[in-house]
């Protein structure tokens, strides 16, 4: 019992000294994606696929996503960046973006005087496994263009 007290007393200064050697995290800037001048439309979680994504767009795309337009703005450019989820290291209770899985670009272009067309492109990131299938283009176009913008103050 006595030894416990002295332990408590001796341990204190030791602990106080040892508090300083806190280890510092290793930052991983390669997980960031630079969407240039495109603005945020919204984020999308998919727990079935274990991914989390950001949909960005230029002003014309943002307008598509904010208003119910009869047809999409020509010149709208979208970028959908998808990351693999990972547990947040310091908080059990949050999943965050880890390695980039894919980057999809979509442009609404003029086909002729009356019609528009879509220009879609799928790029893989480090988190993409060779066996993972590619998404079906028409479905992705529909998915991206149907997204409504998240509400901001």
Partner 1 sequence: MKKPGLKFYKSAAVVLTLIFVGMQISSPDIENPPVTSEIVAPADVKQILERACYDCHSNEAKVEWFDKIAPASFLIKRDIEEARSRFNFSEWDKNPAGVQELLLWEMVNAIEQGKMPLKRYQLAHPGGKVSESELAVLKKYVNTLPGRHKVDTARIVAQPSSSQKVSTPKTPVSLNGIPYSADYKNWKIISVTDKFDGGSMRIVYGNDIMVKAIGKRQLPFPDGARIVKVVWGKQAEDKEGNVLPGNFQNAQFMIKDSKKYSTTEGWGFAKFDGLDLKPAGKTILFEQTCANCHRLLAPENDFVFNVPTK
- Judged by the rule CB under 8 A, the positions of this chain that interact with partner 1 are 1-2, 4-5, 7-9, 11-12, 15, 22-35, 39-40, 42-49, 52-54, 83, 85, 88-97, 147, 150-153
- Shortest gap between Cβ of 23 and ligand HEC (angstroms)? 18
Separation between Cα atoms, residue 105 and residue 118, nearest integer Å: 10
> Smallest Cα–Cα separation from 122: which of 101, 108, 143, 142?
101
Residue 94 binds ligand HEC (CB under 6 A) = yes
* Partner touching 132 among partner 1, ligand HEC, none, CB below 5 to 8 Å by kind: none
Q: Tell me which H or E stretch contains 82.
A: strand 77-87
CB of 94 to ligand HEC, least distance (A): 4
Binding mask 45-64 for ligand HEC (x = CB under 6 A): --------------------
The smaller minimum CB distance to ligand HEC, of residues 94 and 110, is found at 94
The tokens describing 5, both together, are 């007290």
Burial class (CB in 10 A: 0-12, 13-18, 19+), 2: exposed
107 within 8 A of 76, measured Cβ to Cβ: yes
| Token pair recorded at residue 114 | 């009356």
Residues contributing to the site for ligand HEC (CB under 6 A): 88, 91, 94
């Amino acid at each position: 019992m006595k030894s416990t007290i002295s332990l408590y007393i001796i341990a204190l200064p030791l602990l106080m000294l040892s508090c300083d050697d806190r280890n510092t995290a290793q930052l991983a800037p390669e997980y960031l994606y630079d969407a240039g001048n495109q603005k945020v439309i919204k984020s999308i979680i998919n727990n079935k696929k274990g991914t989390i994504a950001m949909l960005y767009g230029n002003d014309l795309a943002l307008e598509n996503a904010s208003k119910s337009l009869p047809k999409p703005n020509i010149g709208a450019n979208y970028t959908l960046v998808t990351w693999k989820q990972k547990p947040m290291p310091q908080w059990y209770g949050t999943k965050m973006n880890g390695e980039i899985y894919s980057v999809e670009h979509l442009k609404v272009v003029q086909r002729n005087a009356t019609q528009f067309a879509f220009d879609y492109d799928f790029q893989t990131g480090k988190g993409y496994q060779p066996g993972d299938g590619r998404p079906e283009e028409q479905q992705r176009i529909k998915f991206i263009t149907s997204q409504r913008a998240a509400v901001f103050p």
